[in-house]
Amino acid sequence: MLDVDAVRGDAPAAPRRVQIGDVLIDAVHLDELMAAVQQACRARTPLQIVTVNIDFIRLAQRSRAFRRVIHEAAWVVPDGRLVLWVSRLLGEPLPEQITGHDLVRESIRLARAHGHRMFLLGGMPGVAADVARRLERENPGLCVQGDDGGSFSADGDNEDNAALVQRIREFEADLLFVALGAPKQELWLARNLHATGVSVAVGVGGVFDTLSGRLPRAPRWMQVAGLESLFQLLIAPRRYARRYVLEDPPTLARVAWLALVTRVTRKRRA
Ligand code: UDP
């Protein structure tokens, strides 16, 4: 089990945590998180980051194993405007959204400055290797390896796990990005983080698909306006309609209602 205080080391002081649904989310800024990432790379203390959106909160409600992995992660950050909105309803605002894209971009910056090595795992066959080549081309000096990892089961078991872990170890990766979708990527990481020898690992969902150019990313104005999910829904309805139209809205309604009730009850007691 990860000891949160130990893995945070002398990184910035542990921030407050905000409970949304069954999940505790860190009120942390991206620059503070990246300071912790750099510290973990220097100290070689493995830590897992989980980026939580409404879908993660829905999945966590259904799966004890997933809840546990989120609870034991060193850092849990809000990846979604709706999560920020619920935290404001609760009266405990989270400072900013931190996405998988933000973490990849800032990690590239760190990796170039300090010589860290990056490993990309998952995605459709060949995509991670393609993204790795692109990132190396666009960022001279950067050292990245991509590997789709073969086939994974629904709870993140890999048919040839020992060989996969060995490839990551042999590459001597510092930073590991896993794109298998939630909860698979988080479950696989929690089980294999220590064995891979990496310092920092995070599940990034569909990030390789956009970095490889296979799926367009929302234009900047839509990202700024918090409309990235709407964009995804419009360009890939078969991939996202079930989640965004059917599955997530009841969870959003539940956590928003709970947040309001908690806030009103707290006010009455004060
Ligand atoms: N994926 C994978 N192996 C799996 C399941 C998913 O590599 O066993 C990849 C998939 O190709 C995609 C990403 O994981 O790039 C999941 O993206 P996202 O989080 O958007 O979820 P999705 O709705 O696509 O499952």
Atom 1 of ligand 1 has which residue's CA nearest to it? 180
Radius of gyration from C-alpha coordinates of the chain: 18
Cα 222 vs. chain centroid, distance in angstroms?
20
Tens-digit pLDDT profile for residues 202-252: 999 999 999 999 999 999 999 999 999 999 999 999 999 999 999 999 999
- For residues 71 and 91, give the distance between their C-alpha atoms in angstroms, rounded to a whole number: 22
What per-residue confidence (pLDDT) applies to 12?
52
Cβ of residue 123 lying under 6 Å from some atom of ligand 1: yes
Cβ of residue 239 lying under 6 Å from some atom of ligand 1: yes
Mean pLDDT for the stretch of residues 68-92 = 97
What per-residue confidence (pLDDT) applies to 246?
97
Ligand 1, residue 243: give the atom nearest the CA. 23
Cβ of residue 180 lying under 6 Å from some atom of ligand 1: yes
**Residue 237 tokens, joined:** 């309805």
Q: Given the structure tokens 């542990």, which residue do they identify?
A: 14
Map residue 75 onto helix, strand or coil.
strand
* Measured distance between the N- and C-terminal CA atoms of the chain, rounded to whole angstroms: 37
Cβ of residue 122 lying under 6 Å from some atom of ligand 1: yes
What per-residue confidence (pLDDT) applies to 155?
84
Mean pLDDT for the stretch of residues 38-54 = 97
Tens-digit pLDDT profile for residues 144-154: 999 999 999 98
Cα 184 to ligand 1 centre (Å): 9
Check: CB of residue 56 under 8 Å from CB of residue 73: no
Mean pLDDT for the stretch of residues 167-190 = 98
Check: CB of residue 143 under 8 Å from CB of residue 250: no
Cβ of residue 208 lying under 6 Å from some atom of ligand 1: yes
Cβ of residue 183 lying under 6 Å from some atom of ligand 1: no
* Cα–Cα nearest to 67, from 203, 189, 154, 187: 187
Amino acid at 56: F
Q: Given the structure tokens 């989310």, which residue do they identify?
A: 25
Cβ of residue 209 lying under 6 Å from some atom of ligand 1: yes
Ligand 1, residues 58, 180, 188, 242: which to mutate, most atoms within 8 A of Cβ? 180
* Cα–Cα nearest to 82, from 211, 230, 184, 221: 230
**pLDDT classification of 13: cutoffs 50, 70, 90:** low
What per-residue confidence (pLDDT) applies to 203?
98
Mean pLDDT for the stretch of residues 256-268 = 95
This prediction has a pTM of 0.94
Cβ of residue 214 lying under 6 Å from some atom of ligand 1: no
Cβ of residue 100 lying under 6 Å from some atom of ligand 1: no
**Residue 190 tokens, joined:** 């929690």
Amino acid at 224: V
Q: Given the structure tokens 């620059």, which residue do they identify?
A: 31
Ligand 1, residue 182: give the atom nearest the CA. 19
Tens-digit pLDDT profile for residues 92-138: 999 999 999 999 999 999 999 999 999 999 999 999 999 999 999 99
Check: CB of residue 195 under 8 Å from CB of residue 166: no
- For residues 23 and 26, give the distance between their C-alpha atoms in angstroms, rounded to a whole number: 10
What per-residue confidence (pLDDT) applies to 140?
96
**pLDDT classification of 15: cutoffs 50, 70, 90:** confident
Please indicate whether residue 1 or residue 270 has the higher confidence score (pLDDT).
270
Atom 8 of ligand 1 has which residue's CA nearest to it? 152
Ligand 1, residue 122: give the atom nearest the CA. 7
Amino acid at 213: G
φ, ψ (nearest 5 deg) of residue 149: 80, 0
Amino acid at 203: G
pLDDT at 11 > cutoff 50: no
Tally of residues, the chain: 270
pLDDT at 184 > cutoff 70: yes
Atom 21 of ligand 1 has which residue's CA nearest to it? 181
Distances (CA, A) of 176 to 77, 135, 168: 17, 14, 9
- pLDDT above 90: percentage of residues in the chain: 92
Average pLDDT across the chain, whole number: 94
Mean pLDDT for the stretch of residues 179-193 = 97
- For residues 147 and 135, give the distance between their C-alpha atoms in angstroms, rounded to a whole number: 14
